[in-house]
Structure 1
Amino acid sequence: MSQVDLVIRGGKVVSPDHIIEASVAIDNGIIVAVGHDDLMPSAREDIRADGLYLLPGAIDSHVHFRDPGYPNKETWKTGSAAAACGGVTTVFEMPNTNPATGTVEALRIKQKAAESSYVDFGIHGLFGDDTVDRLEELLDAGVTSFKAFVGNTFGNLPAPTDGCLLEGFEKLAPLGIRTVVHAENSSIMARRQAKLQAAGRNDPFAHLAARPAVAEIEAIGRVVTLAEWTGARVHIAHHSSADSLYLLREAKRRGVDVTAETCPQYMLMNVNEMSRLGGILRLNPPIREARHNQPLWDALMDGTIDMIATDHAPHTPEEKTRESIWDCDCGFPGVETQMPLMLTEINKDRATLMDYVRWSSVNPAKAWGLYGVKGVIAAGSHADIAIVDMDKQGVVNQGKLQSVSKISPWNGRVVKGYPIHTLVRGRFVMRDGALVQDAAGWGVSVKAVQKMPTPKPRNTETYTTAILTRPEGAPVSARPSADVIEGKLP
């Protein structure tokens, strides 16, 4: 083998199944060899990683970079810089920007903004009543996936009607495209919030009272039912409640293609911090009681929940510290702090580094059709690597975050375990703990390498397109589908 660009020597390479001492050779952004150091080719640059761990770069499927529309909160450049400094090499960005990513014109504006990204990215298009007729058009224009805001959140985008959800799933099921769902019942929450406000409840705990676990339970059940019927792929965002985990377990047991994420805040924080943090801790779904923390961690361990995401949702300090909880914007930055927070728990022996790689990289890569290209350190894959020092200790300092949003509930938290180098397709975007400034714009869309598994649409004879083209008087189907006959569907 001729001389390559870079060899990382002496580190420990982590996969979901093992940790091995190996060196990694990289050329033209691709990993070309993983193995014994003596077998590595010569390189234009060597870097020593003795005592360090090489993890596939984290893939965060849930970030809000607020660009276009809200540069006072975040931009693609600052949000992706935060990702780079957090060991995150690929992000999937949400559509509740201004304009919302529901037209090709709005998508083009976002794609232009993303040209400043330090890390690779996917873009979730908006799935709603006003966009359901444009899903295929948006896919052709470059979106990788979709987001349905079944529960209201920042931007106040209207929740899709159930008829829209069914029709959209009918369109996406044959294409194999996955839809992210913010699964909370908007009607329940709006009614309860109105009553709380009328009663003068403006305290931080009122936000939780307005968004009970049953709102998540109902919405997940509804979404899974429609996905199961159509064969559509769905992804439950920011799973927050222990009480709704049974729905995921049962759906997966029946073979529904549903994946789910949770976030560090739902496993590591609870309402006990609410009095101290107030509106800083306001987010959707809400931080819940302490009884939810461990079951969510257990669900990650047993595969009920597939992955870690952050719901990176930055706002300015002023927007997070208003007197009334209803006036505090929902969310906080998280893409930069996720890895140190989770590695700290690994250092406490709550899980292994192999588990963490499964949650942070492998499973997201599989869910979004990237596995093999991303999510693994192996010959032929992109050289997306987080080089981690598990012994490095520090304290989260909100003032030093790369995000525009210099306010975090994690401020002052002691952590142990940090990414110290981040490579995206072989290029350092963070080195020795510092952002590589001239790497801005290195990130590209993952659309070109995305390849979803073969789709498995179901009950297609009942799809909207089928009933509109069926001759007048013809029955919907001659007999029930095989899934109903075999008892696979309720």
Structure 2
Amino acid sequence: MNQVDLLIRGARVVSDHQIIEASVAIDGEKIVAVGRDELMPSAREVLQADGLFLLPGAIDSHVHFRDPGYAHKETWKTGSAAAACGGVTTVFDMPNTNPPTGTIEALRMKQKAAESSYVDYGIHGLLGDDTVGHLEELVDAGCTSFKAFVGNTFGNLPAPTDGALLEGFEKLAPLGIRTVVHAENSSILSRRQKRMQDAGRIDALAHLAARPVVAEIEAIGRVLTLAEWTGARVHIAHHSAADSLFLIREAKRRGVDVTVETCPQYLLLNTDHSDRLGGILRLNPPIREPRHNQPLWDALMDGTIDMIATDHAPHAPEEKTRENIWECDCGFPGIETQMALMLTEVNRERASLMDYVRWSSVSPAKAWGIYGKKGVITPGADADIAIVDMQRSGILSENQLHSTSKISPWHGRPVKGYPLHTLVRGKFVMRNGELVTETAGWGRSVKAIQQMPTPRPQNTEHYTDAILSTPEGVRPTAEPRR
């Protein structure tokens, strides 16, 4: 083998099933060898990584980089810088920007904004009543996937009607394209919030009271019913409640193609933190009571929940600290702190590093059809690597975030385990804990490498397109009277 660009020596390489001592050779954008050091080629640069761990770069399938439309909250450049400094090498951005990513024109605006990204990316298009008619066009134009806001959130996009959701699934099932669903019942949320506001409740816990667990249970059940009937692939975003896990377990048992994410905030925070954090904690779904934390951990461990995402949702500090909870914007930044938070829990022996790689890299890569190129450290894969020091300790600080949003519920939290270096397709985007600023714009769309498994659409004879194309004069046979 000829001389390669980079050789990483002395580290331990982590997959979802083993940890091995090995050197890793990188040439151009690809990993070209993983194995014993004496078998490695010579390299133009050698990184001695004794005592460190090489993880596949994290894949965060739920971020809001706010551009276009809300650049004062975040841009692709600042959001992806935060990703790079958090060991995240691929992100999937949500469509509730302004304009929403539901037209070709809006998609082109987002693709233009993403040209400044430090990390690779996918783009979720919007599935709504107004977009169902051109989902295929959005796929052809570069959308990797879709998002349906069944529960309302920032941007106040109208929830798709059940009819539009069903028709959208009918269109996407034959394509094998997965739809992310914000699964809360919008009717319940809006009615209860109005009742709370009319009663004068403006405290932080009023937000939780307006979004009860039953809203998540009902919406997940409805989404899974439509997905199972059509054969569509779905992804439940930011799963927050213990009570709705049974629906996921049963659906997976029946073979429904559903993947599920949760976020560090639902694993590590609860209403006991409300007095101290107030409106900072306002997000959708809400931070819930302490009883929900451990069941979500258990669901990660047993595979009911597939992956970790962050729902990175930045806002200006003044938008998060208003006295009236209904005037505090929903969400907070999380992409830069996720890995340190989760590695800390690994150090506490709540999970293994192999578990973490499964949640942060392998499962999302498989869900979005990019596994093999992403999510694994093996010859032929993109050289997307987070090099972490499991012994490094520190205190998280919102003032040091690379996000525009300098407000975080994790401010002041001790952690142990940090990413020191991040490589995206063979290039350092973070080195020795510092952003490599000249790599802005290195990120590329993952659409070109996306390879979803063979679709399994169901009940296609009852799809809307099928019933609209019934030949003239042919009518379905009437059911016999009973």
TM-score, normalization by structure 1: 0.97
Tell me the residue number matched to 1:273.
Answer: 273
Which blocks of at least 5 consecutive residues in structure 2 are unaligned? none
> 1:278-427 counterparts in 2 under 5 A?
278-427=278-427
Distance 2:428 2:374 in 1: 16
Residue 465 (str. 1) matches residue 465 (str. 2): yes
Distance 1:478 1:41 in 2: 73
Q: How far 1:71 moved relative to its partner?
A: 1.0
Contact 1:31–1:380 (8 Å) recurs in 2: yes
Q: How far 1:52 moved relative to its partner?
A: 0.2
Residues 1:45 and 1:320: Cα distance change in structure 2 (over 3 Å): same
Q: Deviations over 1:69-106 (max 9, x none)?
A: 11110000000000000000000000000111000001
Which blocks of at least 5 consecutive residues in structure 1 are unaligned? 480-490
2:66 counterpart SS class = coil
Distance 1:13 1:348 in 2: 20
Tell me the residue number matched to 1:429.
Answer: 429
Tell me the residue number matched to 2:100.
Answer: 100
Tell me the residue number matched to 1:19.
Answer: 19
Q: How far 1:466 moved relative to its partner?
A: 0.7
Residue 87 (str. 1) matches residue 87 (str. 2): yes
Contact 1:9–1:47 (8 Å) recurs in 2: yes
Contact 1:189–1:210 (8 Å) recurs in 2: yes
Distance 1:467 1:15 in 2: 47
Tell me the residue number matched to 2:178.
Answer: 178
Contact 1:57–1:385 (8 Å) recurs in 2: yes
Distance 1:423 1:477 in 2: 61
Sequence identity percentage = 79
1:167 counterpart SS class = helix
| Partner amino acid, structure 2, of 1:391 | Q
Runs of 4+ in 1 over 4 A off after TM superposition: 472-479
Distance 2:474 2:415 in 1: 65
Q: Deviations over 1:81-138 (max 9, x none)?
A: 0000000000000000011100000111100000000000000001000101110010
Count of aligned positions: 479
Residues 1:200 and 1:22: Cα distance change in structure 2 (over 3 Å): same
Residues 1:150 and 1:2: Cα distance change in structure 2 (over 3 Å): same
1:403 counterpart SS class = coil
Distance 1:100 1:197 in 2: 28
> 1:188-203 counterparts in 2 under 5 A?
188-203=188-203
2:286 counterpart SS class = coil
| Partner amino acid, structure 2, of 1:72 | H
Q: How far 1:478 moved relative to its partner?
A: 10
Q: Deviations over 1:449-488 (max 9, x none)?
A: 0010000000000000110111356465899xxxxxxxxx
Contact 1:4–1:27 (8 Å) recurs in 2: yes
Contact 1:462–1:476 (8 Å) recurs in 2: no
Distance 2:164 2:155 in 1: 20
Q: Deviations over 1:231-261 (max 9, x none)?
A: 0000000000000000000000000000000
1:243 counterpart SS class = coil
Distance 2:417 2:407 in 1: 22
Tell me the residue number matched to 1:231.
Answer: 231
| Partner amino acid, structure 2, of 1:264 | P
Q: How far 1:224 moved relative to its partner?
A: 0.3
1:20 counterpart SS class = strand
| Partner amino acid, structure 2, of 1:393 | S
Residue 77 (str. 1) matches residue 61 (str. 2): no
2:381 counterpart SS class = coil
Tell me the residue number matched to 1:488.
Answer: none
| Partner amino acid, structure 2, of 1:50 | D
2:106 counterpart SS class = helix
1:242 counterpart SS class = coil
Distance 2:476 2:197 in 1: 48
1:184 counterpart SS class = coil
Distance 2:142 2:193 in 1: 37
2:91 counterpart SS class = strand
Q: Deviations over 1:363-412 (max 9, x none)?
A: 00000000000000000000000000000000000001000000000000
Cα RMSD, aligned residues only: 1.0
| Partner amino acid, structure 1, of 2:204 | P
Residue 135 (str. 1) matches residue 156 (str. 2): no
